[in-house]
Amino acid sequence: MKTTVFSIFVFFLNISLFSQVGINTTTPSPSAALDISSSNNGTNFGGLMPPKVTMAQRDLIPVTAADDGLLVYVTDGAIRYLQIYDGVDGVWRTIYPTTFELSTVLAGWNVTGLTGYGTSPYAATTTNSSVVVGGLSRGA
């Protein structure tokens, strides 16, 4: 009886020490909490499908700061966004498609009143201090 109880204890002890979970793999990475392989047979491949929600459904998710990193795929009409919850600022951030906002002018040429081809090279009228501009040249 003692041997059976000891064997069961050792069995559960071993299970609690191995915490990695693998999907389509029998050897999950020891560094990962969840290791997902794209194929279980080397021929048929797949991807990760995050939950699809509309904007209204996403807004109903009761997120808190503890949900930092929560991932959803927003499909609302023509809108398609991959979004992640920023628990620090308490907002959903779009990570795909990425949007860039260029608010600094690097170089600019004012061609107002310029007649014909103008001079070549034409000096920039606005230049950011972080760039070197040689001028705007026209071809032959």
What are the pLDDT digits (tens) for 109-126?
888 877 777 777 888 888
pTM score of the predicted model? 0.52
Nearest Cα to 111, choosing from 129, 94, 126? 126
Report the range of poorest mean pLDDT among 34-43, 69-78, 81-90. 34-43
Q: Is residue 22 a contact partner of residue 35, using CB atoms and an 8 Å limit?
A: yes
Residue 73 has pLDDT above 90, yes or no: yes
Residue-level pLDDT at 110: 84
The pLDDT value given to residue 3: 64
Q: Is the pLDDT of residue 77 over 90?
A: no
The CA–CA distances, whole Å, from 137 to 95, 119, 131, 133 equal 38, 8, 17, 11
Q: Quick one: residue 77, left, alpha or beta (phi over 0 = left, psi -120 to 50 = alpha)?
A: left
pLDDT tens-digit profile of 37-56? 888 777 888 888 899 999 99
